A and B are shown apart, each in its own frame.
Chain A
Amino acid sequence: MSHERMKEAQAPGRAPEAGAVSTALQREMLAKLVLVREFELSCERWWNAGEPLVGEFHLSLGQEAFAVGACAAAEPTDPICPSIRGMGVYLCRDVPMVPLIASFLEREGGISGGRWAHWHSPVEDRNILPQTGMLGSGLVTAVGVAMAQKLRKSRRVVLAMLGDGTTNTGYFHEGVNLAAVKRLPIVVVIENNQYAISTPISSMAMVHNLSERAAGYGIPGITVDGTDVVAVYLAIGAAVERARDGGGPTLVELKAYRWGGQTLKDPDRVRPAEEKAAARARCPVALLRQKLAASGALTGAEFDSMVAQARARIEDARAEARALAPIAPPAEPAILRTLDPYAA
């Protein structure tokens, strides 16, 4: 990543005043940042300890403010399609933690019942939309959901989150354009963590900020510092409001840096060590904690208690999930009834 780019990105076009965000909300967002951070650190720890976890773990360490800011900016009833790095969305939408962890552990009662990857699974009562393994497919599906909201006049706004690499797919171009020409209530959130696996986005896009691509679709685009959860919240909040009022889609680019590899399986050998180290200086958790502490809105003990609460919640959920029965496959042909691909 270039830190020059990051600095420029912090001068957004029309970010509302940070003063508009109450201390209470900032503390809430800090608690969520801590929860996402602690949850993903736990996943990393379990993985490194050799726990047999199923699937991929695309952690969002360093970019937790994307999910936290987005979920705080939208109503809980607004449908949201997470990116593949979307664990934070599940946590911020209060998806019960036991089924989430049960899905990692191949236990009964997991969020997908072992049928679909945990990071693709919809959770209807939390308005989390399904996505597939194809980057960008979540966006176009979400565009359809936005079309449904408009036809139903529901006043719900759809959030579609996707990575920087996905902005180079045909799905992105077609999806954003379709949303734009139909003036759909959707906010497209680009989670720019600078890399698609090992490939820097700067080598794969000729625009300085990915939000510049909005101009090609005739819609507003904005780039904000994605390590600043308040800035994320305000930018997405403004876009949500605009969409709810019938103003159509906005492209919101959030810039941060993925601290770890693409997944826990990725040895991450390509990205420069000094770059990775430098990125940790802009920690979304530390930034908000320091800001609140400086204004006297948070004591050290209060922060410690947030961390302790998160850890206890995670450990309790893990213990409960481990106690669940392992998934047992039914015999053929019963398995085809259990895993029936057809609606009756």
Chain B
Amino acid sequence: MTTMTFRQALNDAIRLEMERDPNVIVLGEDVGRHGGARGVTRGLWERFGAERVIDTPISELAVSGAAVGLAFSGFRPVVENYIGDIIMFMADSLVTSASKLHFATGGRLDAPMVIRGADASRPDGGPHQDTLAAWFAHVPGLKVVVPATPADAKGLLISAIRDDNPVVFLEPFKLYDTEGPVPDGDYAVPIGKAEVRTEGGDVTLVAVGGCLPDALAAHDRWRKQGISVEVVDPRSLRPLDVATIRKSVGKTGRLVVVHEGWASYGIGSEIVACVSDGPELLLRAPAQRVGTLDTHVPASIVLSKAVLPNAERIDRAVAKVMEAGRQGAGRLSVGAT
């Protein structure tokens, strides 16, 4: 176990996989000597050379498409997406080509590839603060992974590289410099398994990616008031570990989901639906979604904090489910906060 940053953990994962499997290659803008847009590929070019750490033009259409061709030709390309919303340029390669290949060929061809890069809000404001996780989680054939701790960053990226399916691997921008203990050497975290971060009996708070620290802070605040919050980190959005989330809600009867990205038609909507779908009724209070407000993330840091999920809105949602639950409301309903 070594203490390292989220960024270093990602680097460790790629380096180990490149050492283990000569078919793993890295592509992207500035991934070579520059070490990647966020420093994740630092040292890989020096270690593995320009044949396996391939600098590309600013050509997301071509690079993501080429990754599909490389993938069904036997390579395992790890493509760096420069920053969150730029993945829109890769959407056709992911959705129309990569996600369909296994299905369309009856499994004769697969597209084992990873598109990874910074996602969601940045701590320093500006443009490019979106997360489009829900777009890609919508698509059968894709896997979507959002780690929230350095250990998961490593373990999930190793699993993503080994996966025979195309994986969209989203690295919450604001977590790159967070530190944590990371297991040494080969360490794979299975995709599709949620993790209960804090045990609690009153409210289930499902927190995605960069919202995990906020959820843990909410847990501490509410504990002082005698409310125990069970924080669940889904870690992968597709496949989603519905069983773990339902098990938690089965205990608490109350559900709040917090994530970046719009609540409307969003990740939270899907999680709430998966809990509500049954087989048995679990909720005793209207489930709450805390997402990015239905507008765009402003460049100003001050303004963006009001639009993004924040402590105030999380607390309001927790208070709401506690209030409704106390009144004994047994109706199954959904609200947005």
Contacts and interface: CB of A to CB of B under 8 A. Distances in A.
Interface of A: 112-113, 115-116, 120-122, 124, 129-130, 132-134, 136-137, 139-149, 151-152, 170-171, 174-175, 177-178, 181-182, 339-344
B92 A144 contact: no
B97 interface: yes
Given A142-B69, A151-B51, 19 more contacts: A112-B104, A112-B105, A115-B105, A134-B92, A140-B66, A141-B66, A141-B69, A144-B68, A148-B74, A171-B61, A174-B59, A175-B66, A178-B63, A340-B102, A340-B103, A341-B100, A341-B103, A341-B140, A343-B164
Contacts of B185: none
Contacts of A112: 104-105
A171 B65 contact: yes
Contacts of B68: 140-141, 144
B70 A121 contact: no
Contact of B109 (A130, A143, A170): A130
A93 B112 CA distance: 27
Interface string B160-183: 000111000000000000000000
B70 A116 contact: no
B99 interface: yes
B56 interface: yes
B93 A343 contact: no
Interface of B: 25, 51, 54, 56-57, 59-75, 77, 92-93, 96-97, 99-110, 112, 140-141, 143, 163-165
Contacts of B56: 178
A174 B60 CA distance: 8
A146 B75 CA distance: 12
Nearest to A158: B69
A112 B25 CA distance: 30
A322 to B, nearest CB: 23
A151 B66 contact: no
Given A143-B62, A145-B69, A178-B63, A341 B102 contact: yes
Contacts of A143: 62, 65-66, 69
Contact of B73 (A140, A148, A340): A148
B93 A137 contact: yes
Contact of B66 (A116, A149, A178, A343): A178
A144 B63 CA distance: 8
Contacts of B101: 130
Contacts of A144: 65-71, 73, 77
Contacts of B54: 182
A171 B164 CA distance: 25
B35 to A, nearest CB: 21
10 pairs of A and B residues whose beta carbons are closest in the complex: A144-B69, A140-B65, A144-B66, A148-B73, A174-B62, A343-B164, A341-B141, A116-B104, A174-B59, A145-B69
Contacts of B110: 343
A170 B73 CA distance: 24
B59 A177 contact: yes
A141 B69 CA distance: 4
Select the residue from B25, B92, B109 with max chain A CB neighbours within 10 A. Answer: B92
Contacts of A149: 73
B18 to A, nearest CB: 14
Select the residue from B64, B69, B75, B140 with max chain A CB neighbours within 10 A. Answer: B69
Contacts of A151: 25, 51, 75
A343 B144 CA distance: 15
A177 B70 contact: no
Contacts of B57: 174, 177-178, 181
Contacts of B77: 144
Contacts of A140: 61-62, 64-66, 68-69, 93
Contacts of B97: 130, 132, 134, 137, 141
A132 B100 contact: yes
Contacts of A339: 103
Nearest to B75: A148
Contacts of B112: 343
B25 A171 contact: no
A341 B140 CA distance: 6
A144 B75 CA distance: 10
Contact of B107 (A120, A122, A141, A343): A343
Nearest to B69: A144
5 contacts: A137-B97, A145-B73, A171-B61, A177-B57, A178-B63
Nearest to B67: A144
Nearest to B59: A174
Nearest to B74: A148
A175 B72 contact: no
A144 B108 CA distance: 18
